[in-house]
A = this chain, B = another copy of it.
Amino acid sequence: MDTVRNYKILDCTLRDGGYYTNWDFNKELVHTYFKSFNELPVDYLEIGYRSSPMKEYLGEYFYCPIYVLQEAKSLSNKKLVIILNEKDVRPEHVKDLLEPCKDLIDMVRIALDPEYLGRALRLAEEIKKLGFEVGFNVMYMSKWKQYGDFLNQIKEVDAVADYFYMVDSYGGVYPQDVKEVINLVKERTKCKIGFHGHNNMELALINSLTALEHGADIIDATVTGMGRGAGNLKTELLLTALNASQGLKTDFNALSAVVDVFERLQQDHGWGTNLPYMVSGANSLPQKDVMEWVTRRFYSFNSIIRALYNQKEKVQDNQKLPLFSPAKHYSKVIIIGGGPNANLHKTAIKEFVRNLEPDTCIIHASSKNAANYEDIQVDQYFCLVGNEGHRLENVFKNLVNFKGQCVLPPYPRKMGTYIPEALVGKSFELSNIDFTNTLKDSHSALALQTALQLNAKEIFLVGYDGYQEKAITQLEKSLSDENEFLFTAFRKHSSIALSSLTPTNYKNLPVTSVYSYLE
């Protein structure tokens, strides 16, 4: 396409983007992807992993069965690549995993922790025997200087690798660092050098261009930057920059066609950088947790950033609280969630509560509706998980006269602890969440466990509206799935009656009407 270019470009959108879609992509998108790249100045397409069976659902492009590779081969005029996770593959697996790909795949890459370069070298030997090009994608380049053994061993890659990649795993390196590390590598190996940049600090482009300037031979990128966490160098940005600065021949019709389909997908999954990713990048903190926190919606950036700083300072948690050991018990407990129905039906719900007094109390799973119930004379408990401390400050203008008690998850809290000053003497932590091993830090888990501690015989949920299947977003879907899971776990664990007093879309939640209880 362009003869003067002395470097290669590898697009790994399907492979790295799979972190957001569980490695499933619809056929139409895949066709557009291959068809568009046939017209673009890119040399390699990395389409996925090959892997032995794992114990969780992972889709088509995580396993890349042969029919997938055959289809890719038939659609594409590029060299095709797959990647292996070094930690999951031993040399004895290589033949089974890779022999079937022999005429379909051109390069096999190995993603590795620098600590295991030795193991990776042996793996690479086996791969090389099958005739593939081999790439080493070595993570954590910002910490390589601390790995003396690794640095000493780099020279051994010459014998087995075609490309030796520096991976900016945290997305926190600067052009100056790229230059330094590339020189460090060049002193040790004659292997061609690659760079895989993450975009936490919006430095992926300048780092990649700096790598090229200092002799890198291949650059990774993905369409719209789709990739784990904050994502990668954007293919369209790299091509546009090289087109304008070096005349790299680029078909912008093809480029915009493929960008278009991934931008639509991005609206559902929302990859790209944001404040939590910036903080983790700038401070070389792992992104895995951040990605989970960002994609679940009940942590504010604030809580996430607090958690990151706790990690950075190696503080597990900054506050140990007195245990929640309520003197009072109530046979009927109302749990109020964040749904609009808790507001819509509040008059009836308050009437219902008054009829049960004093043998009842309210637990606010979310503080969203708390102000609607401020005026009712009944004991009230507030679950302080995620961002609720701040939300409480917003909901109640003045916390000085706050009459309730706050309940927090067991110590240590991964997300750190924020308690408004006025509530310090009124806040307690649970010793444990009994009825579930997962999702222990969710609002619903905390509220249900609090009800158990209060010795509830019957629990009424209010404002657990759920979501209508049709209009549901990814985030709402995952929150809804989590609650369904917790309801099931709770009912398996306990014989306490659990029902919703207001309309709900949850399937595991029996419904009665609040109005049926009123005279």
> Roughly how many angstroms separate A275 CA and B238 CA in the complex, as a whole number?
11
Q: Does A203 contact B (CB under 8 A)?
A: yes
Please name 24 pairs of A and B residues whose Cβ atoms are closer than 8 Å in the assembled complex, sorted by A. A174-B206, A175-B206, A201-B241, A202-B204, A240-B275, A240-B278, A240-B282, A241-B278, A241-B282, A243-B282, A244-B282, A244-B283, A252-B275, A252-B306, A253-B302, A253-B305, A253-B306, A253-B390, A256-B305, A257-B302, A259-B275, A259-B301, A260-B300, A260-B302
A282 and B245 within 8 A (CB): yes
Q: Is A279 an interface residue (CB 8 A)?
A: yes
Q: Which residues of the partner chain B approach A255 to less than 8 Å between Cβ atoms?
A: 275
Q: Which of B202, B205, B256 contacts A301 (CB 8 A)?
A: B256
What copy number does this chain have within its complex? Answer: 2
Q: Check A252/B240 contact, CB under 8 A, given A175-B206, A206-B203, A259-B301.
A: no
A203 to B240 alpha-carbon distance, docked (Å):
13
Q: How far is the CA of A260 from the CA of B205 in the complex (A)?
A: 26
Q: Is the CB of B274 within 8 A of A263?
A: yes
Enumerate chain A interface residues (CB-CB to B < 8 A): 172, 174-175, 199, 201-206, 234, 236-237, 240-241, 243-245, 252-253, 255-257, 259-260, 263, 274-275, 278-279, 282-283, 300-302, 305-306, 309, 390
The dominant DSSP class at the A interface is helix
Q: In the bound complex, what is the Cα–Cα distance between A309 and B244 (angstroms)?
A: 11
Looking at the assembled complex, report how far the CB atom of A199 sits from the nearest CB atom of chain B, in whole angstroms.
7
Contact A279 B201 (CB under 8 A): no
Contacts of A260 in B (CB 8 A): 300-302
CA distance A306 to B251 in the complex (A): 11
Chain B residues whose C-beta falls within 8 Å of the C-beta of A240 in the assembled complex: 201, 275, 278-279, 282
Q: How far is the CA of A253 from the CA of B420 in the complex (A)?
A: 13
